[in-house]
Structure 1
């Protein structure tokens, strides 16, 4: 029978329709060219005489329109209700269940959760009676979406209970493709709870299933969601890459909610990194497609209201009131424009004042912070200088007396140990405050710092240093010395390098300092995100001397620190 053949075809497409997407399982992931042409279907419907065939064709038209048009199809509800009425009259409950799921999806996408719950519950109870495990998994997953954004304790428990049941049923049905949507929803749920590790885990599971079964809509949804997770984790550039990639999949139509979500998220992300051109581009695209959807939905309502209005009002009353309405409308338009002009002018005026005061406050705050930082580092250096002096003048002198006393008694071993302690005290004193900087100048101090590092470590240090004495104030010279000292210490501690080099170039208008090692390297982005104390200290010290510091590195190829300081 043609009806049975059509019924089998319908079941195949329905399975693809309900089991291949994320969030609610009712979007199609099937290429439109695999369905009958819409005109052909409508022609078949107009000539059909068998009730079940009429219902199946009505549902087939809905599937085709859903795949090709999605939200913009104004007749989707009409064909579904026609199919549902026939299925219920014929007591074809399994077929009716598919329509319940589809109607629930329509109401859910139109933000009517109560109606969505009504139809999904009807489907759930029907598939329990027929023990249809696959369809039960779909309905439990869909119902979980009702609670996915509910932050109450009850809502959270309901969401977890429904999604867990959907996963159990999907595994029981031995159909891995069914798991894509529950895993995707779990990923979204954990992301909303800021449990980003679990969110990433389940989203990647959904992505893997989508790729394994070549379901482009599932891959698109999971890719977009993974981008949202990476955004929350602080990986803005990677988040942008993933979300832009999600826009390239063929399964995504410009009328899909996912498309709009991706556009607005990209606008926000580009705004956060200061790329206002890209941010504006995606914002304008979002607004364009959002307005298209809005007007498509509103056009039908407005047309119905206009027809009702025309049938209730007499032509003579409309004509007699036309001039009066125009006059009132003109007055209202003038008043509205005047109010808007006044409001915008006031907004611009107060906005300008606010921006000016905010800028002045930010400048003042920056100056205060810089002054406080100078005081802090200055007091820190003074304390280090005091401790260094105490070690040299007091502890060092006492140890020297003890050494001489021991030497007189011919206790060579003890004298040697005291000599070692004296050397350690000297090194500590030098590290606390470089006395050589005061005596010999910045250039010689830097060379000695490099020479000491070369002697005391296995790293081969080379240097090429121009004279930069008497260019900067004394407090600036100390900060420059400390920056180079910190960079060399980092090489010794972390680089595992065999060699390193330090360059100091006295250019016409600036001094360029470069510290380079050939060690294991590191991830600069990871270092920046962790905001380590060492990096912060380097940045603060470079800021105090009016310099700009940059750090570059490639894993396995070493690291490169560059400091550029303008001459006073």
Structure 2
């Protein structure tokens, strides 16, 4: 009876302690996820980072973050690594989480990336279903609605549903105009251009494409410019302008050098150019490009496989190796039938008829030619052309009406006799321009300031992570490896051969030096002033440089973080002196002055040009010092000239 209260009390204390541990673990994991989320947003091409972020988000049920980065990972597999099947494996498991996602824009973005993936896998029906889902969950997000319509329109273009394609693309353009999304507006105009080409409106296509290229060049670094030139080459091929075809493909490769989708476009463009060279008897050039592609299996597998088969078919035909050309042609036709790409199926049937004719098999040549003509007729049915013609007429009418309105305004302005109104118009226009310039300058400064703050925050997070990792590694070396080496040293003492003991002792000493360098334990135990003196003594003993020090007690003015960053700054400066300065003597001073702590390091070395060093790629140490000074809100002064030594002063 007496023991029961103690048992109950012990049990309650156990529950309370367990709650504290769980709560602390949750806080740690939430903090870690917040950092991973921030890093992942800025590193969407780092699959390891994305996978770890998704894993932790699922673990603590942060479903919005998990789904957001799964969409980014699917995009990475689709566009960057050509491992689309890996992306496909993520879909089913992630769809079960969508019901828990609060931000429906994230759900829309996920469905959009899934739809894109299915499109490039050739699974067009699944692609359309997911584009519709993306549109449904976009709610009031005009940009996402436009992207969903745009993607769906492209699918209809590839499957020969030209009437439906025109409707979806026109709707997409309206959404992009509403959201002022210039980039995707240009993309949609590119697809309309492709639509004209697929239906034989080559003059309209060329006119639209020339306008499009002008817009793209004004945009600067338009990422899809390679595809614009590639589609221009496809139309040039249809109209038998082979020189223009090759010229457009060369322009596409040149534009691709600065495209953010470089890795995605490169194999397609090279294989397209190889096919063009083969068709125009430039066999050596074609073979060279195909050999470059064959160095990497990712370049001729998956989505790229059909382009590879097409180029190989044409090259074999040009070399009069008709049997090999036939095998590649049949494989290409089968691939296109799986994806229901009717225009490419039509072209494959046409080319196979040429191959069988060269082989002397007239029956099969005729069969494939009939397939070609039947398919061409079915694609170009009257109903689809009427829908397309209607939208083309509507588009041309809108452009004409806008032109007439502009001309009428010009005529009214030219005939106006009211000088006062004209003057007010000029003054008002001038005032608006000035106002606009002021707003632009203020916004650009505000944007630059925000970017700088974000960059500084990211740098601080990275430095904090580095210090945490250094601390972790130092503790592991000290507690695990250090303890084992200590035991080994003691054991070596008992051996008759003293060299074993010396080797073990030297190794233990090296491990301790590395551990101390990673995280200065003495800084916590003895404080900043004593740790600084020991650091200088250690360097003094192991170098030819003469050190003079004046180190006052400043520990009571420094927080732990300030002490650590100031110590790291001192380490960095001294390492730079030893590596680069060729100094004979160094003077280090740590003093209090009013409410300031001042660290001064002077040497009599070769000096350097400070501004020039910051601009070179070799200035990471100086940039690290600058960032640490910003973190602890201190002033950094560096005075140096060639052959006149260097003085570094930090005022905290």
**TM bucket normalised to smaller:** 0.3 to 0.5
Greater radius of gyration (CA): 1
Higher relative contact order (CA 8 A, sep 6+): 1
Q: TM-score, normalised by structure 1?
A: 0.40
